[in-house]
Amino acid sequence: METRSSESPVRYMERTRQYYRALGYNNDYVWAHHDDAPFTRPSKPLSDCTVALITTAGPPDLSNRDERNRKHVWSGDVDSPPATFDTDLAWDKEATHTDDRETFLPIDAARRLEAEGVIGRLAPHFHGAPTDYSHGKTNEKDAPELLRRLREDKVDVAVLTAL
Amino acid sequence: MSLIARHLEANGIPTVVIGSAKDIVEHCGVPRFFFSDFPLGNPCGHPWTPDMQTETLRQALALLETAEAPGTTVRSPFEWKHDPEWRERYNRVRPEDRERLLAIGDERRRKRGQAARSDG
């Protein structure tokens, strides 16, 4: 274990607002905001649960994008994930890289926890969620589609990892 | 991603978000959040560190059994590598950057305008 830093987390909303204003954009992005959150307790022990992984990365062939370059939900087989991913998103390209899939889609880590019996099983598919500027599209299209795909795999709990 | 976690949770699938943008995730409000205080891009652990990545996922999953209420955030015990500047550096805007950034923005708007016209 490494020691904890006493530094405060980066305030990304403020940093992003200042950055986009400097780029010359006048309308600040409005992040989704809720004062509360839903809460569902697992219906069985984690060691009996089927666990799904959802990431924000895309497939290397960009097949999750339509002709207007809009992103859609995509899925892959956990036994044969692509060798590389589309990680053309807002992450810190000076401080790090995304060459190791396990840093944003921890399939191998989940397999190890499955072997240890910490989780029941890893769901057969992982999923890619669009990072969309439209809250409406996320809520009305992408989220219900992901729910449908998780139910198809009889998933009990989901781990969402945002690049 | 946070909105998706909310939707899944509201429809009966418990979730945990692993991420590094604490303010954005907490602003949206999610049931459970495992916070890695790393540069954006590697929420599940440093690259090429299977032990850290497994431990990160283990601790995030544990939240599914230990969280007692929505809005539960737990911070990862792991620190980023020795790079004291990363917090300050990301998307910073210094006075000397302004001209360059505005030019980047102008170029983006020009390209976007072209794309919009070609889309009809």
Q: Tell me whether A42 touches chain B (CB under 8 Å).
A: yes
pLDDT at A94 over 90: no
Contact of B106 with chain A, judged by CB distance below 8 Å, is answered with yes
CB atoms closer than 10 angstroms to residue A159: 28
Amino acid identity, position A69: N
In chain B, residues with a C-beta closer than 8 Å to the C-beta of A33 are 27-29
Number of C-alpha atoms within 13 angstroms, CB side, residue B102?
A: 8
Contact (CB, 8 A) for B50 and B6: no
Question: At B70, which amino acid appears?
Answer: P
pLDDT at position A10 is 93
**Cα–Cα distance for residue pair B94/B86, rounded to 1 Å:** 15
A143: nearest CB among B7, B39, B109 = B7
Residues 66-105 in B contacting A (C-alpha not used; CB under 8 Å): 69-71, 75, 77-80, 83, 86-87, 89-93, 97-98, 101-102, 104-105
Residue of B nearest to A4 (CA): B79
A163-to-A34, A60, A95, B102 alpha-carbon distances in Å: 22, 16, 13, 26
Write the CB contacts of A81 (distance below 8 Å, at least 6 apart in sequence): A101, A105, A107, A126
- Answer yes or no: are the C-beta atoms of A38 and B114 closer than 8 Å: no
Question: What is the mean pLDDT of each successive set of 10 residues along chain B, which is 120 residues long?
Answer: 96 98 96 97 97 98 98 96 87 90 92 65
Q: DSSP character for A8?
A: P
Which residues are within 8 A (CB) of A23 and not within 5 positions of it... i.e. 6 or more apart? Answer: B101, B102, B104, B105, B108
Gap between the Cα atoms of A81 and A14, Å rounded = 36
The pLDDT of A2-25, averaged and rounded, is: 83
Q: Does A139 touch chain B (CB under 8 A)?
A: yes
> Which residues in chain A have Cβ-Cβ distances shorter than 8 Å to B83?
95
| A69: region left, alpha or beta (phi > 0 left; psi from -120 to 50 alpha) | left
The tens digit of pLDDT for each residue in A22-79 reads 999 988 889 999 999 999 999 999 999 999 999 999 999 999 999 998 999 999 999 9
Give the number of other CB atoms < 10 A from CB of residue A124: 16
- β-bridge mates for residue A159, sequence order: A53, B16
Tell me if B16 sits within 8 A of B60, measured CB to CB: yes
With CB atoms and an 8 Å threshold, state whether B1 touches A100.
no
Residue A90 token pair = 């807002």
* Pairing status of strand A125-128 against strand A74-77: antiparallel
A108-146 pLDDT, tens digit each: 999 999 999 999 999 999 999 998 778 989 999 999 999
Residue A91 sits at the chain B interface (C-beta within 8 Å): yes
Q: For position A3, what pLDDT does the model report?
A: 44
Q: B90, B110, B118: best mutation site toward chain A, by most A Cβ within 10 Å?
A: B90
